Structure 1
């Protein structure tokens, strides 16, 4: 069976790479800067761009009628005036909902296509479930965005599949399996082989699910060194405290995801 015309299988399996040693660390607006505006909304991303963020981060969920939208949670309950799984609502219903901000602002949920069209800059898009793969790939192809998108935060096979359906220019982070292996190597003091680097980037948390990762300065030094040795840049999520931002920048991370891009830009410099 042939692929739909909007999907095109990649002819090159090698991961896209744009990281180089000594590059200026990226200020990445997590969900557009979730502490400053309603998260994952056009208003949040507009504000992040105005502030001077280098990169934008969002999440993809799928509506009942198959549209890729920018939303983090599986349900509408926490952030909107609707209740229930987002995939139980049509795009029209989802976009009629109000997304609440930290100061009581209200905004609407955009599609991934709207965001990629409005902000043709570097993006990290977290893939939340397997049935998002094809709609996301279609959106990336339709908006001709592969050259400035990094897909992340999913199984390695999912991330590979998005690249296969789009372009070799599409970046990807290490998937969950690769990240677990890298973490194990760092804790054991073992250097992974160069072939281990299946992605251009390592996206790693400060202390996700109570597991001490980048919170440990010693571990952070190891991860950064090992990743750089095999040609991968390191981007850390989600850092909102200034002391943590400063420490990570001093240690040589290549990017920081933050809900407060204003703080990080002040520290790093616009």
Structure 2
């Protein structure tokens, strides 16, 4: 059984605030070969790496990213004293690595329009060859694929939920698994273990790939490895 791909979720946040340059540097130093981040759009159409709509959790500032301009956001300091990371800055330092780009659904259409501008310039190589996209909104995924059909998307979260329910219930023909597609699956749901070898096998028999979605403990990570997942998205160091 080949080793899974390890993906650092928002960077290694043991040492720095999530989605900052220091968090991604720490992840690379820890041995990660793939990284994940979140994209949002500012009021003046700059892309910024931020998970939440509001900066309350990471900066203690009740400011919505989509309602602020870049100049305002550049003045914000996060919990560890770091600034927010903008897409152009991120591209310059980290554009040569493998990424999962999580497109947040709020103002997602505007996010995609700004992202498509980078396709015409310096971001083309990364976005075509080293980036995969994760969507929470099927319509937004279709919009991107209509414009750039060659890019690689992971299964959007509504599809992941359907596939997970079907495979856990033992009826994989109802899962709608598409060959070559990567599906997120959490270690457990309401105390019920989902990452089991027989469950993962139901995806893989249909040529689907399984990503262990955020195992939080050593035990959950062991479940993922025992189940034979293809990828692990984690907040922690590789196992």
Q: TM-score range by the shorter chain?
A: 0.7 to 0.9
Go from structure 1 to structure 2 and tell me whether the alpha carbon gap of 1:140 and 1:36 turns closer, same or farther (over 3 Å shift). Answer: farther
Task: Give TM-score scaled by structure 1 length.
Answer: 0.77
Q: CA RMSD in A?
A: 2.4
**1:52 — aligned with what?**
31
Q: 1:200 matched to which residue of 2?
A: 181
User: 1:99-178 maps to which residues of 2 (within 5 A)?
Assistant: 99-100=78-79, 105-119=80-94, 120-129=96-105, 130-131=108-109, 132-142=111-121, 143-144=123-124, 145=126, 146-168=128-150, 170-178=151-159
Question: Are residues 1:88 and 2:64 paired?
Answer: no
Contact 2:160 2:183 in 1 (8 A): yes
Secondary structure at the aligned position of 2:13 is classed as coil
CA contact (8 A) 1:123 1:148 kept: yes
| Structure with the larger RCO, 1 or 2 (CA within 8 Å, 6+ apart) | 1
| 1:74 aligned counterpart, secondary structure | coil
Question: Do structure 1's residue 39 and structure 2's residue 18 form an aligned pair?
Answer: yes
Q: 1:173, 1:49 → 2: CA distance?
A: 22
CA distance in 2, matches of 1:29, 1:244: 16
- What's the secondary structure of 1:236's corresponding residue? strand
Counterparts in 2 of 1:212-251, with a 5 A limit?
Answer: 212=190, 216-217=193-194, 220-251=196-227
Using the TM superposition, give the Cα deviation of residue 64 of structure 1 relative to its aligned residue in structure 2, in angstroms: 0.7
1:233-263 alpha-carbon deviations (Å, 9 max, x no partner) = 21122123222212211211111111112xx
The structural deviation recorded for 1:67 is 1.2
* Residue in structure 2 matched with residue 260 of structure 1 by the alignment: 236
Q: Deviations over 1:62-96 (max 9, x none)?
A: 11101111000000111115322111111121122
Kept after mapping to 2: 8 A contact 1:126/1:153: yes
Question: Does 2:55 align with 1:62?
Answer: no
Once the two structures are superposed, residues 42-74 of structure 1 have per-residue CA deviations (whole angstroms, 9 ceiling, x without a partner) of 111111112110210111111110111100000
Q: Which sections of structure 1, spanning at least 5 residues, go unmatched?
A: 1-21
TM-score (norm 2): 0.86
The count of corresponding residues between Structure 1 and Structure 2 is 232
Unaligned 5+ segments in structure 2 are none
